[in-house]
Amino acid sequence: MIARHSLSQFLQRHRDPFLQQFRRLSLLEYKSHRLLKDFQIPVPQGSVVTTPQEAKDVVSRINAPSVVKAQVLAGGRGKGRFNSDGKGGVRIVSSKNEAFESASNMLGHNLTTKQTPPEGLLVNKLYIYKSVDIADEFYIAITFDRDRDMPVLLISDDGGVNIETNTSRLQRFWFNFSHGITPEITSYIQAQFGFSDREMAPITHILHQMVKLFHEKDATLLELNPLVRTSDHEFFCLDAKLNFDDSAKFRQQELFALEEQAPGEEDEYQASQLGLSYIRLDGNIGNVVNGAGLAMATNDLVTLFGGKCANFLDVGGGATKETLSKAFDILQRDTRIKGIFVNIYGGIVRCDMIAESIISAASAMGGFKVPVVVRLQGTNSEEGLKLLQESGLGNLVVEADFDHAAEKIVKLTEAS
């Protein structure tokens, strides 16, 4: 997972903007390698270890210089730094004893890169494989070009970190799934990059298998960086980045079961499992809303009255007793939160059902531990507000007016 900035901006422009509302499936490198291997895309034969002794044993079996790579959900590992010995997250070791020493300084320690929080990420797994004699590095990716409404193949002979500063050298080849990568495209690639006839056989195979993986697994990005050519004219993918369409989760259950839960994203992950959208902010007022526009308006109004939101938690149009109960559970476990603002507009969802769900969730949790202000507008809002007013729940304030509701939760939070 190499750091990407200018390149990611290009890719971002060619992805469906609506997909940005979903959490991206995140796979650790060794799991990505296994997926590539399932599609006959060449990767090194690697092993995953969790202890220094296991690292020592693996390198002893390899009996050759080996690559040791920290497994975290962040790019820039090679240029990152561990809080133990100040060295990077990708290392070459020449002996089993060196493997043991490196693993001891990697496992159980935090690695900081340009893509991690300032304190870094805890490393508890390492991926080890025999070092490859690299002659050349290439960048190859498939993504969607939304402007043309078709997939595009991107290739450059500036692979690895060099691609970030040389995006102008990217060659683009548009294709469709019915024809795939055509002989005309492969012929142009051979001429452009100087591959020999012997080398074009594996390159063509890799390209066809990439299209197969991209299509069959509902990917939105498949990036091999670097794809290396060895001194023996063999090709291996040493690192990969894969994104998948979250809306295809029902078709790709086995794939999504491989998802890694990044540290600090537990609430976001749990919310996503119930179809909720959760965004963490840095305030102390928890929000339960339905719709991104209402979430932004809620944040603006709370800020106007001097408060700060701790999150957006969007229950969407299909809110149920289960999802609302989980939403309250997530918020009440957040020790930063001193008050909760429920702001629902009943268009698709009925406000009386929301009220019943709030009452049910509160009962299941033994009541609210912090002040809760509920504002309901729209379908059956009067019935919903009446249900809440007559519920007898403590720490609950009902308010139909948006401004008054926002002002009340700010004051109640300041007083708590």
The answer to whether 349 is a known ligand-binding residue is yes
The answer to whether 352 is a known ligand-binding residue is no
The answer to whether 69 is a known ligand-binding residue is yes
The answer to whether 78 is a known ligand-binding residue is yes
Secondary structure, 3-state, the chain? CCCCCHHHHHHHHCCCHHHHHCCCCCCCHHHHHHHHHHCCCCCCCEEEECCHHHHHHHHHHHCCCEEEEECCCCCCCCCCEECCCCCCCEEEECCHHHHHHHHHCCCCCEEECCCCCCCCEECCCEEEEECCCEEEEEEEEEEEECCCCEEEEEEECCCHHHHHHCHHHCEEEECCCCCCCCHHHHHHHHHHHCCCHHHHHHHHHHHHHHHHHHHHCCEEEEEEEEEEEECCCCEEECCEEEEECHHHCCCCHHHHCCCCCCCCCHHHHHHHHCCCEEEECCCCEEEEECCHHHHHHHHHHHHHCCCCECEEEECCCCCCHHHHHHHHHHHHHCCCCCEEEEEEEECCCCHHHHHHHHHHHHHHCCCCCCCEEEEEEECCHHHHHHHHHCCCCCCEEECCCHHHHHHHHHHHHHHC
The residues that are catalytic are 139, 223
The answer to whether 76 is a known ligand-binding residue is yes
The answer to whether 290 is a known ligand-binding residue is yes
The answer to whether 239 is a known ligand-binding residue is yes
Summarize the annotated binding site as residue ranges: 69, 76-78, 137, 225, 239, 290, 347-349
Summarize the annotated binding site for substrate as residue ranges: 290, 347-349
Summarize the annotated binding site for ATP as residue ranges: 69, 76-78, 137
